[in-house]
Structure 1
Amino acid sequence: MVFSLNLPLYAAHAGGLMKPLVTIVFSLLFPIALGATEATEAPQPETATDMAAQVETEGDTEDAVLDPDSTLLFLDAREVNVRDFIWERRIIVVMAETPDDPQFNRQLEALRERSDDFVERDAIVIFDAHPADRSALRQVLRPRAFMTAIIDKDGEVKARRPAVRSGRELMAVIDRFPTRRQEMLERRPSGR
């Protein structure tokens, strides 16, 4: 059973009361949505994008894949539990209706080009181009077509956009988060 909220998610930024409401709804819906996706089979790569994203998991590089401190992870939304990353990583979500969507491929490429910068910002990428599988993230975020979203370490959706963003734009958004500003002060206390 999946509950739906009849308010648009962008309304979360409109008022002070909507933000806590959306956070609560997100935290309540996520466990429900995860129950619907636990019995899925391991997907096979269907396109060049899927294969490129899964290159990280093949071969002898399994240790490098499991270390998000040195490699930007690209994870399939159908195979991941987002709750594992709360308070540990920022999540950049890239969704599309099909893996062949040009915006989807451009967004993933923009993230790969700046992967070291995103690793420095404790980010991982979760992608979903298979709406029929109804991943937990897709059920919560409900994209209409292509979408890029950023979920901060606290589990709140801080930004979402229905267009491709450059790596530089995404980093600028992340750098404005209060948690990121605090991290920068802790890592470099003398210089801002």
Structure 2
Amino acid sequence: MKHLMAIAAFGALIAGGAMAADLKEWRQAKAAPVNAADTDLGDFRWEARPVIVMADRADDPDFTAQMKVFRDEAEGVADRDMLIVTDTDPGAQGDLRGQLSPDGFGVYLVGKDGGVKFSSQSPVSMARFAEIIDAMPMRQREMRDGG
């Protein structure tokens, strides 16, 4: 059976004054991966920064390492409005696979405007994602405005 990640609740906000544990749970749920086959990136334009993680199989070592980065850094993922999208079924030939044409493992950072901003054929650290995203003009405004 091919690997499918469940869609997580993405936009539910916790009311002000929430306990730290509730905030941590919300950030982890917001950072949970979604399946590429179930996702139209247009739905998240101007709302999220999709990071598409593709591999030929779910047990690919690079895929596993990249997903561990996101699990370990769920707060940073959520703080930067990153939406983790996975595709480990090359036979499905979904829209994203057709557009990005990965050869084995690939990770692609898409900006809120819908353009691919960065790609790599090896796992990427959260520090590198933070460096790239935090340099974006829209992210600069978000940090300045507290968004």
Same fold per TM (> 0.5)? yes
1:104-183 alignment to 2 at 5 Å? 104-183=63-142
Q: Gaps (5+ residues) in structure 2?
A: 14-25
Could you say if the C-alpha distance between residues 101 and 68 of structure 1 is closer, same or farther in structure 2, counting changes exceeding 3 Å? farther
Contact 2:2 2:88 in 1 (8 A): no
Deviates more, 1:166-175 or 1:101-110: 166-175
1:85 equivalent among 44, 49, 53: 44
The structure with more helix, counted as a fraction of residues: 1
Instruction: Name the SS of the counterpart of 1:67 in structure 2.
Output: coil
Q: Output the aligned Cα RMSD.
A: 1.8
SS in 1 for 2:96: helix
How many residues are paired up? 132
Matched, 1:186 2:145: yes
In 2, Cα distance between equivalents of 1:111 and 1:168: 11
> Per the alignment, in what secondary structure is the counterpart of residue 53 of structure 2?
strand
- Say if 1:97 and 1:145, in contact at 8 Å, map to a contact too: yes
Could you tell me how far 1:176 is from its partner in structure 2? 1.4
**Secondary structure of 2:76's match?**
helix
Aligned counterpart, 2:11: 67
| Higher alpha-carbon Rg | 1
1:179: Cα distance to partner?
1.1
The secondary structure found in structure 1 opposite 2:122 is coil
- Report the Cα distance in structure 1 between the residues aligned to 2:12 and 2:75, rounded to whole angstroms: 10
Cα gap change, 1:180 to 1:66, in 2 (>3 Å) = closer
Residues in 2 aligned to 1:77 and 1:46: alpha-carbon distance in whole angstroms: 13
| 3-state SS of paired residue (1:138) | helix
Deviations 1:14-47 (A, max 9, x none): xxxxxxxxxxxxxxxxxxxxxxxxxxxxxxx645
- Give unmatched runs, 5+ long, in structure 1: 1-44, 58-64
Counterpart AA for 2:33: F
Q: 1:136 to 1:119 in 2, by over 3 A?
A: same
Q: 1: distance between equivalents of 2:90 and 2:108?
A: 16
Identity of aligned residues (%): 27
